[in-house]
Amino acid sequence: MDLRKRWIPDYQLDVSFEHPVESRPAVTWRCQRCGKLPTRGPCTCGRRCYYCRHCLMFGKLRTCDHLVTDPRPLDPVRPDRHSELHLTVDQQRIADAITQTIEQRKRLLVHAVCGAGKTPMLFPGIERALCSNKRVLITTPRADVVRELTGHLKRAFQQADIVSLFGGSPDRLKLGEITISTTHQLVHYRTCFDVVFIDEVDAFPYQADRTLHRYVRQAMSPDAALILLSATPSVRNRLLPTVRLMRRYHGFPLPVPELRVPYTTNDVLHWLQQHPAKPRLVFVPRVEALKTWQGVLEQQGLASETVHAADPDRVQKVERFRRTTGILLTTTILERGVTLPDVQVAVLDADQSFSVAALIQISGRVGRSADFPEGEILFFANDRSNAMYQAVHQIKRANREGFQ
């Protein structure tokens, strides 16, 4: 395979290798890992070296350090075929557009509503890529989405070498025939991937952090195909060639949020008590509100759990919630990429800190399963916000377009 394609783990210079490596200074006038401008300060080498403050989470890089590149060619990609699929006519149309984009090595935006079934629409294109000796990357800003996608891909492609990369992942620095990664982990890779899917391209922090865009570009081969996936694409991304799917795979419309403005604690308690036999997912705008609301529910005899981005047990809590009919209080960490059958959803203080995209994604958690295509989504707020009304407007418009 072309020697341009290589993966880059960041090592110190004194590490021994059994094969030749390429070495270069880690920090010159710019950090060679993330591309940001460095800062000068005292160093353990005795001089005042420049170092990078922007990618410290991956290890400190200084002027006296070196980045080591493994220049060996990558192994050939083994062909693999996905398991049996049952796509709708609309899903097949999107899948064909993705496959054509991969063959032509071009760019494409897939604008599909929440619950349209985007993941299986990727499988024909991934199969074509593997059979053409192309290495595939699926990247997303959220670790929870990586875990969810990894399960789907491993069930669909049982012979392919699939690597899953996120903070704390046992696959760190590995490279698979199909690699599923958070955008942050791509800092270690250069020109490795021939087909790149960016799922949830509008999600935080990818949308606001241009450094993450740099990581993705560096990981792509020069003629790689790029497919963006989003339910709420930005104006910038809409300039790309676009295919749209405004209807869920099971044929039911998107649940339209109901507004409760203003609201009281009793309104929330009454709603929770209306669905005792169903899982209830409750979003709050800030981490500090989780314990407050958990205490309020406990006083009324309602047991609940809380989860947020820094929670070390968040994976176990979400898995536990899947198997129960309890109450889970969460921040926007679960706004996307999570499918929970028959879940009922509420947003507390929806007029605070929630963007239009976040409210649409949260609403999209409801009714995703073909067995439970309907459900309730409520926005509790003390004031009216533009984001709330725009979210409702866009969901209604998607339903109109999907059923024309």
pLDDT in tens, 92-109: 999 999 999 999 999 999
Q: Which are the contacts of 237, defined by CB distance < 8 A and separation ≥ 6?
A: 109, 201, 202, 228, 230
Average confidence score pLDDT of the chain: 89
**pLDDT of 13 over the 70 cut:** no
Cα 225 to Cα 138: distance, rounded to the nearest angstrom: 12
Order the strands of the 136-140 sheet from edge to edge.
162-165, 178-182, 136-140, 193-199, 220-230, 107-112, 242-245
Report yes or no: 40 and 48 within 8 Å, Cβ to Cβ.
yes
Cα 93 to Cα 200: distance, rounded to the nearest angstrom: 20
When pLDDT is averaged across residues 73-91 and rounded to a whole number, the result is 89
Fold of 89-245: Rossmann fold (3.40.50)
Confidence of residue 150 (pLDDT cuts 50, 70, 90): very high
Confidence of residue 149 (pLDDT cuts 50, 70, 90): very high
Cα 84 to Cα 127: distance, rounded to the nearest angstrom: 12
pLDDT at 46: 72
Interior angle at CA 84, CA 224 and CA 164, nearest 5: 45
**What is the token pair recorded at 377?**
């989504």
Q: Could you tell me which residue, 202 or 392, shows the higher pLDDT? A: 392
Report yes or no: 339 and 369 within 8 Å, Cβ to Cβ.
yes
pLDDT digits (tens, 9 = 90+) for 315-359: 899 989 988 889 999 999 898 878 889 999 999 999 998 999 999
According to CATH, the superfamily of the domain at 258-402 is: P-loop containing nucleotide triphosphate hydrolases (3.40.50.300)
Cα 102 to Cα 134: distance, rounded to the nearest angstrom: 10
Cα 31 to Cα 174: distance, rounded to the nearest angstrom: 23
Q: State yes or no: cis peptide before 71, omega within 30 of 0.
A: no
Q: 70 vs 23, 56, 242, 333, CA distance in Å? A: 9, 22, 37, 35
pLDDT at 267: 96
When pLDDT is averaged across residues 260-273 and rounded to a whole number, the result is 95
Confidence of residue 19 (pLDDT cuts 50, 70, 90): low
Residue of 38, 28, 15, 32 lying closest to 67 (CA atoms): 32
Residue 70 exposed, middle or buried by CB count within 10 Å (0-12, 13-18, 19+)? middle
Cα 254 to Cα 237: distance, rounded to the nearest angstrom: 23
Residue type, 244: R
Place of tokens 């509790």: 380
CB burial string 35-64: b at 16+ within 10 A, e below: beebeeeebeeeeebbbbebbeeeeebbbb
pLDDT digits (tens, 9 = 90+) for 200-252: 888 888 887 888 998 999 999 999 999 999 998 988 888 999 999 999 999 99
pLDDT at 24: 77
Residue type, 70: D
Provide the residue ranges of all domains of the chain, joining segments of one domain with +: 1-73, 89-245, 258-402
Q: Which are the contacts of 322, defined by CB distance < 8 A and separation ≥ 6?
A: 279, 340
Q: Is 290 helix (H, G, I), strand (E, B) or coil?
A: helix
pLDDT at 337: 73
pLDDT at 21: 62
Cα 281 to Cα 326: distance, rounded to the nearest angstrom: 9
Q: Which are the contacts of 69, defined by CB distance < 8 A and separation ≥ 6?
A: 6, 8, 21, 22, 23, 24, 190
When pLDDT is averaged across residues 245-260 and rounded to a whole number, the result is 94
Place of tokens 């699926």: 138
How big is the chain by its Cα radius of gyration, in Å? 23
Whether pTM > 0.85 for this model: the answer is: yes
Cα 89 to Cα 381: distance, rounded to the nearest angstrom: 39
Interior angle at CA 245, CA 352 and CA 386, nearest 5: 20
